[in-house]
Homo-oligomer: A and B are copies of this chain.
Amino acid sequence: MAGNSFGTLFRFTTWGESHGPAIGVVVDGCPSLLDLTEADIQPWMEKRRPGQSRYTTQRQEPDQVKILSGVFEGRTTGTPISLLIENTDQRSKDYSDIAAKFRPGHADYTYWQKYGIRDYRGGGRSSARETACRVAAGAVARKVLGSAIQVRGALVQIGPHRIDRSRWDWAEIDNNPFFCPDPVAATQWADYLDGIRKSGSSVGAVVELVASGVPVGLGDPLYDKLDSDLACAMMTINAVKGVEIGNGFAAAELTGEENADQMRMGPDGLPQFLSNQSGGILGGISTGQDIVVRFAVKPTSSILTPRQTVDTAGNDTDILTKGRHDPCVGIRAVPVGEAMMACVLADHLLRRRVERRE
């Protein structure tokens, strides 16, 4: 059934296959009177765009976003914003190899079983190409958030290699092709990932997202909690297998004393927390602190080593997935995660407007 929309008040619907004429997203529920042009969206597209370093797929897509509706004289009108991205690099190639074989780790088998048909060209709907639409929607969401709320992401682990958190510097994010906040780790990762890439292999990663400037009170308990919506959002991203908030899984090892965020009145006369074990969310509602989310991305399933599989006719066979692939899809998951987080926050920022008697 219908499953291509995300959000409640700030709601987007994506459409399109990897090798169709175009992909796109309709953003509905964006408030009116926000400044919005294509130039506001394009920089975020660039961040996700493939082919910018040797560590991402060499598919070349300009990913130029066209605004088809919902904006008049540079401002949103409150009507749906339709954004379209043409697929320009649809190589005419021979798909006969993957047309009838199920690539391990991909959605080939499950789509085929579920729908009885699948667009096998480049992964069709399940391609990571769809995430371009999320980034476009995220750019609109950032307009809703305004300048006071900042959503940033970083790669904090690639394969077994983690950053040193004491070296975290947001300014480093743009100085390496990994969105890595630790310049020393970034250098090490370059060597490591070169090896992975040259061997035709791939590796997983962990992304960390931080939203700052988020006001207290976002999140609707009990089933539209801010953290449950964030967990859902991250898990909708291709290849994501885990998500955690604040201390996350590490909280399992802590005692109540260690995990509690104590409070004191601040110098500004407002309550403040003395720590942020919770990742900025208590009872599903934002505390006013930084929101901290991490998610794990599995290694790219497309690798050059032949793997055992079956075909649609029921024969055993082998497959090796040639073509232009990311050795670590986790890298490009950073802007996608940011975009999804921005959308969740925009949705809840609007939802918060209705919580009390006016």
Stretch among A9-17, A49-57, A181-189 lining the B interface: A9-17
B117 touches A283 (CB 8 A): no
B263 touches A222 (CB 8 A): no
A75 at the interface (CB under 8 A from B): yes
A78 at the interface (CB under 8 A from B): yes
B9 touches A29 (CB 8 A): no
**Residue picked from A4, A9, A111, most chain B C-beta under 10 Å:** A4
Given A256-B301, A284-B107 in contact, is the A23-B310 Cβ separation under 8 Å? no
- Bound: A297/B201 CA distance, A: 35
A104 at the interface (CB under 8 A from B): yes
Nearest CB to that of A234 among chain B residues? B231
A110 at the interface (CB under 8 A from B): yes
Nearest CB to that of A262 among chain B residues? B308
B160 touches A253 (CB 8 A): yes
**What chain B residues lie within 8 Å of A231 (beta carbons)?**
228, 231-232, 234-235, 243
A227 at the interface (CB under 8 A from B): yes
Ranked nearest first, the 4 interchain pairs of A and B with the lowest CB-CB distance are A107-B283, A3-B220, A242-B244, A2-B29
- Bound: A124/B263 CA distance, A: 21
A171 at the interface (CB under 8 A from B): no
A268 nearest CB across to chain B (Å):
11
A-B contact pairs, 18 of them (CB 8 A): A2-B220, A3-B28, A4-B26, A32-B115, A76-B117, A104-B262, A110-B217, A116-B356, A204-B253, A231-B231, A236-B284, A242-B248, A242-B251, A243-B244, A251-B299, A256-B300, A257-B303, A257-B305
A36 nearest CB across to chain B (Å):
11
A68 touches B252 (CB 8 A): no
B9 touches A124 (CB 8 A): no
A141 at the interface (CB under 8 A from B): no
**What chain B residues lie within 8 Å of A11 (beta carbons)?**
2
